[in-house]
Amino acid sequence: MPDYRVPVRDMKFVREEVLDFPGLWQRLPGCEEVTAELASAIYEAVAKLCEEVLAPLWRSGDEEGCTWNPEGVRTPEGFKEAYARYVEGGWPALTGPVDYGGQGLPPSLESVLNEFVGTANWAWSMYPFLAKGGRLTVTAHGDEELKRQYLAKLISGEWTATMCLTEAHAGTDLGILRTKAEPDPDGSYRITGTKIFISSGEHDLVDNILHIVLARLPDAPPGTKGISLFLVPKRLPDAEGNAGAPNGVSCGSIEHKMGIHGNATAVLNFEDARGFLLGEPNRGLNAMFTFMNIARIGTAVQGVAHAELALQGAARYARERLQMRAAKGPANPEGPADPIIVHPDVRRMLLTIKAFAEGTRLLIQSLAYEVDLSYLAADVEERQRAEDLLALLTPVAKGFCTELGFEAASLGIQVFGGHGYIREWGMEQNLRDARIGMIYEGTNGIQAIDLLGRKVLGSGGEMLAPWLRRIADFCRDCAGEAEMAAFVEPLAALVKEWEQLTRDIGARTRKDADEMGAAAFDYLMYAGYVSLAYLWARAARVAQRALAAEDADAEFYRAKLQTADFYYRKILPRTRTLVAGIDSGAEPLMGMAAEAFLLE
């Protein structure tokens, strides 16, 4: 694989210089002692774990894969030992509540852990990361007894969790799921049904797995309004709270997949398994969104991870691989040819990957900033504003980051040429692993409908307005800075265009319901490119000021400014194509008869 080096310097730039997390923490209750120095120590410690323990298992885990047998699933060699190291380091407890054994650090630090660990070994990372979603779901919707029994084990990493939604006949359409929940006299339920595509659904890293399961009560109304949510442990806790008797949960098989071979994607059979209600009856889908939204942001991080891995592999290769001469004359006159990084088309690919890796990191960390506010701000209204912004930007981040991550992974192969298509360099595995990100947690088409249909048009534009105001306010704040004109002038124009596009789609949708769905994916990508332009402009401003102050790290800041310039001049024009697609309406999509797609 690429020789992964954790991008600690860039993470510090994003979190300390652009977004000012240390300043945020000073005004959040309970975070006053969390400093940049403490955060830096955390980054360095997790970097050591990633580079020395997890990254070396990336390729071997893919080649060996997981092994199913009737007694359970064996993970690739080294995975279990790596998990033990992870738990010993206290990483599962990093942001957990102190009352249940957690370290109580700001939740945004989880996003740093997710990126670094995920880039080192995405398949491995899914085992511990799903436990966070389970922990937050139990915290938000479990009663006190469930919290007492299960939270400490999730927070310590002794047990992990899964999210069980999908059934063979019901993918995105959860309203037609068939898994049943029969009430027992003791207040628990008997869960019967089969779930498929369950990431980390069965493995040998821990002795108990807590399944968060959607099921239907006997008297439930039809559709999504008749779904309830249950906690179903693989093993029931014994009197001491440890994993006890088996609980009617078995792994029927594991999927044979395109990528992420080191993670067990399981078919789980529930046969009168004892489960415990989370939240209110028939409101399980609402409760499950606690888990789903965490998973969506986590999947967005996957896009960053694959872009970063592509960047590190391709940039090193392009500096070393000798082929042809530079158009302006030999750059390596003593050698037989020049390194391919001198060629404009290779530069195009490398800069695209770099702009995507560093830009999506900015986007994820800007969401993490809002996560800290939503959990910890003293002011109720400020918490609500952060929650509303997260609701708007989560589908953008999930869809946009995974699309860009896959494109970056593909370009990583292209930089290597034929060598990228073979196993030994790791670029083809990066592409295979990346492809699932656009499907996970609701396909990107579903994310687009959520963004445009539910969040933007569904709120009459009210959910979008604060984000556009924030971007417009930044543009006005930079108005007197001549060196920022190349960024803020096109950005300000895009904000106005975004508003008009939204009005136009809304007007067309009122006449033809298909107009929203026809515009949705292009709209999501447009939202992503413009949002990234805003964040790149903020990064450019920081870099300009550092260069003006003659910072010792001038090379870093020049590269940051040059990447921002590339993004604005070579990537942001993609919005022109997206606008044209949106303006073309639904007719080019819906005019053809279904039979005409395949004439036999």
Return the beta strands (E) in 153-264 as ranges: 160-164, 180-183, 189-199, 209-215, 228-233, 235-237, 243-246, 249-254
For residue 378, count other CB atoms closer than 10 A to its CB. 10
Half-sphere exposure of 116 (CA within 13 A, CB side): 26
Angle at 395 between CA 394 and CA 397, to 5 degrees: 65
Helix (H) or strand (E) run with residue 268 in it: strand 265-278
DSSP character at residue 247: -
Residue 182 annotated to the active site: no
**Could you give the CA distance from residue 342 to residue 345 in angstroms, rounded to a whole number?**
9
Q: Give CA torsion, residues 455, 460, 465, 468, to 10 deg.
A: 70
Q: Give CA separation, 145 vs 138, 151, 215, 276, in Å.
A: 11, 10, 21, 10
Angle at 345 between CA 118 and CA 557, to 5 degrees: 60
Q: Which of 358, 428, 441, 515 is catalytic?
A: 441
Contacts of 552 (CB under 8 A, 6+ apart): none
Cβ atoms of 266 and 202 within 8 Å: the answer is yes
**Could you give the CA distance from residue 285 to residue 292 in angstroms, rounded to a whole number?**
10
**Could you give the CA distance from residue 134 to residue 126 in angstroms, rounded to a whole number?**
12
Angle at 154 between CA 151 and CA 158, to 5 degrees: 130
Catalytic residues: 441
